[in-house]
Amino acid sequence: MQKRSVLLVIDAQNDFMDITGSPLAVPGAVADMERLAKFIEKFNPDSIFASQDSHYALDISHPSWWLDHDGKQLPSTGFVPITADDIKNGKFTPRVDPKASLAYVEALEANGEFGHFIWPEHCLIGTPGHSFLPVFFDAISEWSKKKLAWVNYIVKGTHPYTEHFGIFRANVPNSDPTTQINQGVFNALNTFDDIYVAGEARSHCTANSVRQILQIAPNLAPKMVILEDCMSDVPGLPTDFYAMVDGIYANAKAAGVRFEKTTSI
């Protein structure tokens, strides 16, 4: 029996691409998606899942949610880490629901999630930056018409009180079902023999998606293939952060996840 394959693409959106006007450009992302588009055309997977990071301007990870110690809004450029101690000591103050905001940052730290980080406004619902990069969108549209199949879209990040790096659940789930484990996706992935993973950024949403699979459905690890030439890192963060990210992928490899380039498949 022929193996059935699924391609899982994380956040191939304009705001993460290294193009003019992108607020959160990942160097190398456009080339990643060009390679992925060629892979889709040649490999013709049986199914495609594609996620979209989706935010409001007023979001716990955006500057407008926070004030600094002088009572000024954080810079629109973002890239500001915030710890629970920072909030308790008055270095940063949430403008929205201070009690819940502190509890969220404390939960991140207690649960071993990535620490809280303020990004520039990105992937705002309804903006061009929220859309897929055209070369990727064209590839999945052609695939759909040739395959007579539909792309499975995964919307994540719409709850403003929690980030949603990994595609399977929010960083800190709450009572909103959209933040909780997306069991439907896991059920679907279980029906395939090979699960190919690509997307942006390698250091954040892709890494967290891989980690969530290993945490929630470790049985999927031997089916997974990370497309190394279809993902890149957010630059400019501390060296120990990238070491932590590399540790996620090392754990994945130890669990049986395979790592390949599109040219070798």
Give the count of beta carbons closer than 10 Å to the beta carbon of residue 44: 12
Domains of the chain as residue ranges with CATH: 5-49+129-264 (3.40.50.850), 63-118 (no CATH)
Residue-wise pLDDT for 73-125, tens only, equals 999 999 999 999 999 999 999 999 999 999 999 999 999 999 999 999 999 99
pLDDT at 115 (0 to 100) = 97
Predicted TM-score (pTM) of the model is: 0.96
79 contact partners, CB below 8 Å, separation of at least 6? 117, 118, 119, 120, 236
pLDDT band at 1 (very low <50, low <70, confident <90, very high): low
Average pLDDT, integer, range 57-71: 98
Q: Is the pLDDT of residue 209 over 70?
A: yes
Residue-wise pLDDT for 171-202, tens only, equals 999 999 999 999 999 999 999 999 999 999 99
- What are the φ/ψ torsions at residue 194 (nearest 5 degrees)? -130, 135
